[in-house]
Chains A and B, each alone.
Chain A
């Protein structure tokens, strides 16, 4: 199982490096969205609740952008068939794709979060960086798990680009809710406050439950 996941992940990373389809566009999209928020909210600096909201909604929409690409190569170039013919555990595809999406999001955030700090964020995030990274990681995990599952459903339908986001966004409301509630105190004006443990727990539980559900259910999307 692990070697299969590694093989698929390496293949996907190599493809992304070759074609540069997902990561640059997701990153650029994030930066543009920050600019839009500046004009839309008419704010030069945000903090606390507002900052958390702007950051997470932007990351969420960037993820939606990348979701559609996740399985497109498999669907259009026969990757599903090639994989289904191999004597491997089929859930490996889910694990590999979700891990890949998680890594893509992390790479995007490597640029987007500093950009956010420069463009819009009032208070300095240096002191709370470890906590921020924790929340980002847990939020990414939730987005990766649910996003991969829904992308797997959507890619083989006719309205694939439309139905994917429609299903994903309501499912991710708890993630946005918990992640924003967890991030808001960290970005408060006048000194960061403590990381609210219960929202971190909510994120963790969400990730765990949906990780298990997706793991159990993904196989059924592949078989015919």
Chain B
């Protein structure tokens, strides 16, 4: 039986340390951008969240695929947590992107930033994940259909990015690709530390939520064993996968 709580404390401490370090670097170490000013510093968080979210969505797709392959519903739980954490990060990407756009170019939204536009579409897609789960009552079918969604959506993300990128006929020197090409050492270091920090945050939150759901499932199983019930009263509908121990 996997113990998700194992190592959680050291992971949390590591996350806190790295993230604090990242913020300090962003605030005091990284140089100010010549034409964009201090608002450019939000770029570090924005891009770090974007990369981690994309990895999270892909991981969710892979886990969904594993669930379909093995019929082991723990994979569905892992996929569910990965996707909904990535969705929160995606909202963060959109918000930081809007702040960045307002600070740099004066309007809250720009259509010629391919990353931002792609994330809007990805957000619109994954926002349907939980309503979809909630609308299927049978838990086994819910898990299976959610995994199918996770796989299809996971395949969609890279294609979407490529297509939107191609459509962006105005290549501004603001995107990650062109920026990394000419990034001075201090910016690169700051960026990498931020990336590691956000990635650690994601993994920590993922483990934390897995552990919490697992614990709840175990408590339910224990209660059932103590009271001698064979089948507990059917609870309300839920969008989250139940853990059966």
Tell whether A217 pairs with B68 under 8 Å between CB atoms, given A163-B128, A206-B159: yes
Which residue of chain B has the shortest Cβ distance to A169 in the bound complex?
A: B124
Interface flag for A85 (CB, 8 Å): no
Query: Are B137 and A217 within 8 A (Cβ)?
Result: no
Query: Are A178 and B163 within 8 A (Cβ)?
Result: yes
Residues of B within 8 A of A (CB-CB), count: 30
Which residue of chain B has the shortest Cβ distance to A206 in the bound complex?
A: B159
Tell whether A153 pairs with B148 under 8 Å between CB atoms, given A158-B137, A213-B155: yes
**Which bracket fits the contact residues of A?**
20 to 34
Query: Are B148 and A221 within 8 A (Cβ)?
Result: yes
Which residue of chain A has the shortest Cβ distance to B156 in the bound complex?
A: A171
- Using Cβ atoms and an 8 Å threshold, which residues of chain A touch B141? 156, 224
Interface flag for A126 (CB, 8 Å): no
Q: Mark A156-174, 1 if CB is under 8 A from B, else 0.
A: 1111000100110111011
B69 to chain A, nearest CB (A): 10
Classify the secondary structure of A's interface with B: helix
Query: Are A153 and B151 within 8 A (Cβ)?
Result: no
Query: Are A153 and B145 within 8 A (Cβ)?
Result: yes
Cα-based distance from A149 to B153 in the complex (angstroms): 12
- Using Cβ atoms and an 8 Å threshold, which residues of chain A touch B220? none
Tell whether A174 pairs with B160 under 8 Å between CB atoms, given A157-B136, A202-B166: yes
Query: Are A173 and B144 within 8 A (Cβ)?
Result: no
Cα-based distance from A99 to B116 in the complex (angstroms): 35
Q: What residues make up the interface of A, taking CB atoms closer than 8 Å to B?
A: 149, 153, 156-159, 163, 166-167, 169-171, 173-174, 177-178, 181, 198-199, 202, 205-206, 209-210, 213-214, 217, 220-221, 223-224
